[in-house]
Amino acid sequence: MKERLHDKSNAQQTQDPIYQVRNVSVAFDMDRGTSRVLDDIDLDIERGEILGVVGESGSGKSMFADSLLNAVVSPGQLGGEVIYNTEDGQSVDVTELTDEELRKFRWQEASMVFQGAQDSFNPTRKIRTHFVETLDAHDADIEDGMDRARELLSDLYLEPDQVLNSYPHELSGGMKQRTLIALSMLLDPEVIVMDEPTAALDLLMQQSIVRLIREIKGKYDVTIIFITHDLPLLAELADRLAVMYAFEFVEIGLTDGILEEPSHPYTRALLNSTPNIFAPVEDMTAIEGSAPDPVNVPTGCSYHPRCPMATDACVESDPGYYETNANHGVKCHYWEDVDNAIPLQVTADETRQVDVPAYGPVAMGTDRTPVLTLDDAEVHFESSQGLFAEPDAVRAVDGISLDIYENEVIALIGESGCGKTTLGKTAIGLQRPTGGSVSFRGQDIWDAKDGHGDVEIPHEAIRQSLQIIHQDPGSAINPNRTVRHTLELPLKHYNDELDMGDRQARILGMLETVGMTPPEDYADRYPHQLSGGEKQRVTLIRALLMEPDLILADEAISALDVSLRVEMMDLMLDLQEIFDTAFLFISHDFSNARYITEKSGGRIGVMYLGEIVEIGTVDEIINNPKHPYTKSLVWATPDLDETGENEDVPLRKIDIPDARNPPSGCRFHTRCPEARETCARKKPVLVGDGGNTHEVSCFRDVPNHEYWDSPELMNDEPSDETPTEK
């Protein structure tokens, strides 16, 4: 065994460190004890590198970011040294700077890009004002500074004057995030700390911003600390990775080295639990157990309660850093044995073939009745642009037909604003369509609601049969009620024949089924006493207690850590077998959609600006995507086994068009790299192959179509007056 680095200050030293973090801790005094949310951190950050910091929620990533700028909020107590080395060779301890020195340091030397771009801007002021005020506060030349602002915005593929003259709410999420990056670079800092800067963004925007960050780093020669819980996102971005667990770094090394030969059991478990677009789904496994409480961190190795390799030595002795090679350090006594003990299961298999789904092809020629049918469903909203302006129509759902069968899982994916959630709510009767129809087992939902015609299935029964799991479980559960009370209410409403004993037995049985044991303990907890995954389990139980035929899972796992997503999807599928429930699973993440549909034999539908542009089995959509938009989503999905990092972005434009004024013809033509003049004039329809297992809305899938003789589009934005032919 190689020698352990007893002097932690020697671990992972760099040649030209811009930051030297020594014995840094952050603690909060609480009624139940001292909460250490950063525990004796020791790390060098190389000048000019991109350092990726990865770990589960609550592991201390954001506290590490705050400590670099001495921005830990009161009553947090920051200890240790945060040494910053300037270009001219001076060294300063950031923790000892005065308030005035900190004010200058935080913009001129190091700046921060936060996760929620909307919260970083004053909603009542134009973007230009934010830039001018920043320049003025630091006594910088306004004219020169605004010239730099325009250059930065252009480098981030934004139209400078349009952005500067806009209010924050007038920009999309991706535009706001890029604008915030430009603002963080306004005073030419040496370091940019990015705390989950792409967490709230769609795949295409996320991948585009990651590549823009790499371009900006090269042009402006900045050091970037990129913090995320999404390990695949860092595969092609970061030079080095620092893996965080329980408020300390457990493994640090070059990105390729950690992804190819991870030496810590937690790193391997994290890789194996991450949904991957190409790795075999049977090899993806959740991490058992949960992260420790900061008030009660285990002795010895903090990971030992969850580690399959743990011994008495791990309980008794806190491992220092072992040097696996010159660029790789790991806190594990048994790092040399980890390869055999915890095999890595992230190898991609792009040639794999998936069995024909069990439920998707029901639509192909059988006489089985769907659970739910949408027939040319439309949902159009009016969006007012001012007191005297004519309202614009937002075509959130625009002529969608879809059948969902018993026990089927259909995953809808697409960018924010494409209409996924509106379609989902329309499907379960929470949104009245403005055109077309929605039927449950042949009964029009809204006829039942309004009492029109012969109603065979009462609306109350339909509502019980169609349930929802929301994206944010914290907002979906009453914070003033115990879990027991929350789960008891729907049983009282829909199953009044059950007495109190029966209700309690059913609630406790469900809690035990989803792994919340002992159930009596969890039943009497309030939401704030539950983790994010536990809250989501409660919302799942609440939906299943209705014994529904269909559950809308609206981004139901996107708020969970990557390491918990496989576990939650497996739980949903296990319960599906017990309750015979279909799922309409909404996600913006292709890896999650692929995992749940492949394991269930379901289908994936791809939405763009209110329309389904492609739908089919997992094998067809992943291995043989036909629509250029689907191909771009597959391209944008981060992959741990990254092989296409030099591929060009398969888009003509980064930003999605305004849904109030969708492009004529094919709505994707303004961004499509394959678009031709016909695409701007004519609107393709969704058509299938001989067996209807794979349907696509693209002229490129139609042999001998006039598209093939049509000239390529040379301009990025065809005229709005271009007529649309159907």
The answer as to whether 597 is a domain residue is: yes
pLDDT of residue 687: 87
**pLDDT tier at 356, thresholds 50, 70, 90:** very low
- The helices-and-strands tally (H runs, E runs) of the chain is 24, 25
Which phi and psi (to 5°) does residue 314 adopt?
-70, -30
Q: Residue 358: pLDDT above 50?
A: no
Q: Residue 389: pLDDT above 70?
A: no
Range of the domain at 619: 356-465+540-626
Q: Residue 157: pLDDT above 60?
A: yes
Q: Tell me the average pLDDT across 412-417.
A: 89
Q: Which runs of E-coded beta strand occur in 105-239?
A: 110-113, 191-195, 223-228
Q: Residue 18: pLDDT above 60?
A: yes
pLDDT in tens, 163-183: 999 999 888 888 888 999 999
Q: Residue 197: pLDDT above 50?
A: yes
4/676 Cα distance (integer angstroms) = 62
pLDDT of residue 474: 80
pLDDT of residue 205: 83
**pLDDT tier at 357, thresholds 50, 70, 90:** very low
The answer as to whether 661 is a domain residue is: no
115 or 233, greater pLDDT:
233
pLDDT of residue 691: 54
The answer as to whether 525 is a domain residue is: no
Q: Residue 498: pLDDT above 90?
A: no
pLDDT in tens, 242-259: 999 999 999 999 999 999
Q: Which of 262-276, 358-372, 388-402, 679-693 has the highest mean pLDDT?
A: 262-276
**pLDDT tier at 212, thresholds 50, 70, 90:** confident
Coil, strand, or helix at residue 336?
A: helix
Mean of pLDDT over the chain:
87
pLDDT of residue 36: 86
How far is the CA of 227 from the CAs of 77, 135, 243, 697, in angstroms? 22, 27, 10, 38
Rg of the chain over all Cα atoms, to the nearest angstrom: 27
How far is the CA of 547 from the CAs of 133, 490, 495, 575, in angstroms? 56, 11, 11, 11
* C-alpha angle 511-303-331 in degrees, rounded to nearest 5: 160
% of the chain exceeding 90 in pLDDT: 59
Q: Residue 115: pLDDT above 90?
A: no
The answer as to whether 576 is a domain residue is: yes
The answer as to whether 431 is a domain residue is: yes
Q: Residue 63: pLDDT above 60?
A: yes
Let me know: does 698 contact 666? Beta carbons within 8 Å: yes
Q: Tell me the average pLDDT across 56-77.
A: 90
Q: Residue 599: pLDDT above 80?
A: yes
Q: Residue 497: pLDDT above 90?
A: no
Residue in the structure block whose two tokens are 């973007």: 127
608/413 Cα distance (integer angstroms) = 9
Tokens of 704: 């001998």
DSSP classification of residue 712: B
4/12 Cα distance (integer angstroms) = 13
Tokens of 264: 């810590």
The answer as to whether 58 is a domain residue is: no
The answer as to whether 104 is a domain residue is: no
pLDDT of residue 385: 54
pLDDT of residue 690: 53
Q: CA quadruple 247, 248, 250, 255: dihedral positive or negative? A: positive
583/556 Cα distance (integer angstroms) = 11
268 or 559, greater pLDDT:
268
The answer as to whether 685 is a domain residue is: no
C-alpha closest to that of 568 among 529, 538, 528, 530? 538
Q: Residue 229: pLDDT above 50?
A: yes
Residue in the structure block whose two tokens are 């379901």: 602
**pLDDT tier at 80, thresholds 50, 70, 90:** very high
Q: Tell me the average pLDDT across 92-101.
A: 94
Q: Which secondary structure element, helix H or strand E, spans residue 400, and what is its range?
A: strand 392-404
pLDDT of residue 121: 92
**pLDDT tier at 3, thresholds 50, 70, 90:** very low
The CATH number assigned to the domain holding 575 equals 3.40.50.300
Coil, strand, or helix at residue 628?
A: helix
Which phi and psi (to 5°) does residue 93 adopt?
-90, 110
pLDDT in tens, 633-674: 998 888 776 544 556 778 888 888 888 889 999 999 999 999
Question: How many structural domains comprise the chain?
Answer: 1
**pLDDT tier at 12, thresholds 50, 70, 90:** low
pLDDT of residue 334: 94
Which of 83-92, 377-386, 583-592 bottoms out in mean pLDDT, i.e. has the lowest? 377-386
